[in-house]
Chains A and B, each alone.
Chain A
């Protein structure tokens, strides 16, 4: 009985984990290239969620089509934030960039709050479901999962096979050397930041396909924290590491929740979260390069 429930929840966790992974790749990409931790990560997830919500509820556009729109919005936001704020902070101490990304997140949250209010919203999109015996997967979750894998593959191709990707890798390796070889380092920073934000906003859309309710201006905070754990699982600086980190996180989150719920006298939901942060600390202590081998 518990075994079946566990298996069902692990499958759910795996599917959710793909989406977590895709929604965290942007954080890792930005840290990998600029060495900046985007503390405002969750606010960009929230922008994605609102994009999906508005396109669906106002224009009747389904969330799959909202994905490219969100990517474009994210790219625009990313370039704007980079050139207005981050450009001057790439070489600054952590304090400045942490505070700046927090400020950007706060600005986004407060702007959205002034426009849409702070009540929770949601949308209802139903396209059937898939019965696996141990658990039932709505098709929207499957779409989100497939979309996430697709995004990860596309990022891989861009990173490995294109000229821009090569320039990016050269900057990660040695920014000075890349500059000497004629790479426009500032442009690479701008592009990486914009793509990182684009991926994050897009991740927000995918997350709403998974959890279409509970959209409000402050929904992002919890995703910022989850993204930190996921990114650390993957080594913080590697987008693919983050994707696999998401898978691991989704499985552990759902699995441990199921098991902790069997213990009397505890709050399994809170304890699951506590466990994820303990995991974060342990990994930072024993394997700060992440769980997976990177080249």
Chain B
């Protein structure tokens, strides 16, 4: 095998990931009544991929992860509601919204990183819960960004794009963007894994002190993963929540259950694997959908013991188990 070929082999694992997102898109596009389901699955996969970039790579449990999606949502909402009256801005309002959302998520992750990433384990988890809840109540209490009244901007969206395009934007293009975000987060995950960053983070996850002693700049790589993951969350908030729902309320976007869902997806699929969030997102989304249809009102009652079974019996997740089974066989190149 030529050197370039071996290098390429290292990225074969992207094929199943990108293929799955393409298939998901084609199914939804071909079957309009499936689009809702596809959109939901895309959201969960993207949430998992984005969260995995930090949680899976570093082993740090960010219980306030949803805060990044929250500020991303606000970024888009602020952009659209302020720019709708400006002449000639048109679709650029969305681009500015995406930029604002990611900037806000980056700034928040820098602030949180400076404070919370000094802490480890349970202390880090509690600190990040504190950030998320603190932010939510600060927005409500100090009445910034309209406080608890939230921002409703469906009218502004119609003002910019007209009724039809605005509807298409929130019922179709927002979901397409979410799929793209999921795919992009997958690509970045593999790029991380195959570079120095991935090795440093693996060392950090196994034993932070040992990694430090060996000369790995753990803080730098930790913050890199943290910011990257936060940026994807911000994008996700700006698209899956802001563009799709066209409103934002603090209790909705700073809701801790999304963080827990993200953790469940990553863990169900396999912590720190590339395919894990995809598999986890699909399995989680499909079972949630199926339970909502067959046993409405009982989803969480069934979900809770399942969660416990996964944590206790299959902590390495579906992809983790699969990887162990397949090992070094040729197929293993595709499962990372």
Q: Which residues of A contact B (CB under 8 A)?
A: 31, 35-37, 39, 85, 88-89, 92-96, 98-100, 102-104, 106-107, 109-111, 113-114, 221, 225, 228-229, 232, 236, 260, 265-274, 276-278, 280-281, 284-285, 288
Q: Shortest Cβ distance from B280 into chain A, in angstroms? A: 13
Residues in B with CB closer than 8 Å to A39 are 63
* Option from A103, A109, A288 in Cβ contact (under 8 Å) with B119: A288
CA A42 to CA B298, docked complex, whole Å = 21
Residue of A nearest to B114 (CB): A285
Contact at B61–A270, with CB atoms within 8 Å?
A: no
Residue of B nearest to A40 (CB): B304
Residues in A with CB closer than 8 Å to B260 are 99, 102
CA A104 to CA B183, docked complex, whole Å = 33
Q: Shortest Cβ distance from B206 into chain A, in angstroms? A: 11
Contact at A106–B315, with CB atoms within 8 Å?
A: no
Contact at B308–A281, with CB atoms within 8 Å?
A: no
* Option from A100, A107, A265 in Cβ contact (under 8 Å) with B301: A107
Which 5 pairs across A and B sit closest by C-beta, in order of nearness? A271-B141, A277-B134, A270-B141, A107-B304, A270-B140
* Residues in B196-227 with C-beta less than 8 Å from chain A: none
Q: Which of A267, A268, A269 has the most CB of B within 10 A?
A: A267
Contact of A37 with B125 at beta-carbon distance under 8 Å, contacts A100-B308, A280-B130 already known: yes
CA A37 to CA B116, docked complex, whole Å = 17
CA A133 to CA B155, docked complex, whole Å = 54
Residue of B nearest to A280 (CB): B130
Contact of A98 with B141 at beta-carbon distance under 8 Å, contacts A274-B134, A277-B134, A284-B119 already known: no
Contact at B143–A104, with CB atoms within 8 Å?
A: no
CA A270 to CA B59, docked complex, whole Å = 32
Does B289 count as interface, using CB distance less than 8 angstroms? no
Contact at B131–A270, with CB atoms within 8 Å?
A: no
CA A253 to CA B305, docked complex, whole Å = 36
Contact at A96–B315, with CB atoms within 8 Å?
A: yes
Given A95-B61, A228-B126, A274-B134, 15 more contacts at CB 8 Å? A37-B122, A94-B121, A94-B122, A95-B271, A98-B63, A99-B263, A99-B311, A107-B301, A110-B300, A236-B126, A267-B140, A267-B143, A269-B141, A270-B141, A281-B131
Contact at B123–A95, with CB atoms within 8 Å?
A: no
CA A88 to CA B138, docked complex, whole Å = 39
Residues in A with CB closer than 8 Å to B99 are none
Contact at B142–A100, with CB atoms within 8 Å?
A: no
Does B235 count as interface, using CB distance less than 8 angstroms? no
Q: Shortest Cβ distance from B112 into chain A, in angstroms? A: 9
Contact of A99 with B130 at beta-carbon distance under 8 Å, contacts A272-B141, A274-B142 already known: no
Q: Shortest Cβ distance from A58 into chain B, in angstroms? A: 24
CA A232 to CA B127, docked complex, whole Å = 10
CB-defined interface of B45-62 with A at 8 Å, one 1/0 digit per residue? Answer: 000000000010001010
CA A229 to CA B137, docked complex, whole Å = 14
A sample of 8 inter-chain contacts (CB < 8 A) reads A37-B126, A85-B308, A85-B311, A228-B129, A236-B122, A236-B123, A270-B140, A273-B137
* Option from A35, A103, A270 in Cβ contact (under 8 Å) with B148: A270
Contact of A94 with B125 at beta-carbon distance under 8 Å, contacts A100-B311, A229-B130, A265-B143 already known: yes
Q: Shortest Cβ distance from B261 into chain A, in angstroms? A: 11
Contact of A107 with B308 at beta-carbon distance under 8 Å, contacts A228-B126, A274-B142, A277-B134 already known: yes
Q: Shortest Cβ distance from B152 into chain A, in angstroms? A: 19
CA A286 to CA B171, docked complex, whole Å = 47
CA A270 to CA B134, docked complex, whole Å = 9
Residues in A with CB closer than 8 Å to B256 are 221
CA A104 to CA B328, docked complex, whole Å = 38
Contact at B137–A280, with CB atoms within 8 Å?
A: no
CB-defined interface of B284-320 with A at 8 Å, one 1/0 digit per residue? Answer: 0000000000000010110111011001100100000
* Option from B116, B122, B136, B307 in Cβ contact (under 8 Å) with A103: B307
Residue of A nearest to B311 (CB): A100
Does B14 count as interface, using CB distance less than 8 angstroms? no
Q: Which of A92, A113, A274 has the most CB of B within 10 A?
A: A274
Contact at B134–A98, with CB atoms within 8 Å?
A: no
Does B267 count as interface, using CB distance less than 8 angstroms? yes
Residues in B with CB closer than 8 Å to A85 are 308, 311-312
Contact of A271 with B312 at beta-carbon distance under 8 Å, contacts A35-B122, A37-B126, A280-B127 already known: no
Contact of A104 with B308 at beta-carbon distance under 8 Å, contacts A94-B125, A110-B300, A236-B123 already known: yes
Residues in B with CB closer than 8 Å to A88 are 312
Q: Which of B59, B61, B308 has the most CB of A within 10 A?
A: B308
Q: Shortest Cβ distance from A87 into chain B, in angstroms? A: 9
Residues in B with CB closer than 8 Å to A37 are 122, 125-126
Residues in A with CB closer than 8 Å to B131 are 277, 281
Contact at A268–B134, with CB atoms within 8 Å?
A: no
Residues in A with CB closer than 8 Å to B121 are 35, 94
CA A268 to CA B148, docked complex, whole Å = 12
Residue of B nearest to A260 (CB): B141
CA A63 to CA B260, docked complex, whole Å = 34
Does B118 count as interface, using CB distance less than 8 angstroms? yes
Contact of A284 with B123 at beta-carbon distance under 8 Å, contacts A95-B271, A103-B304, A107-B305 already known: yes
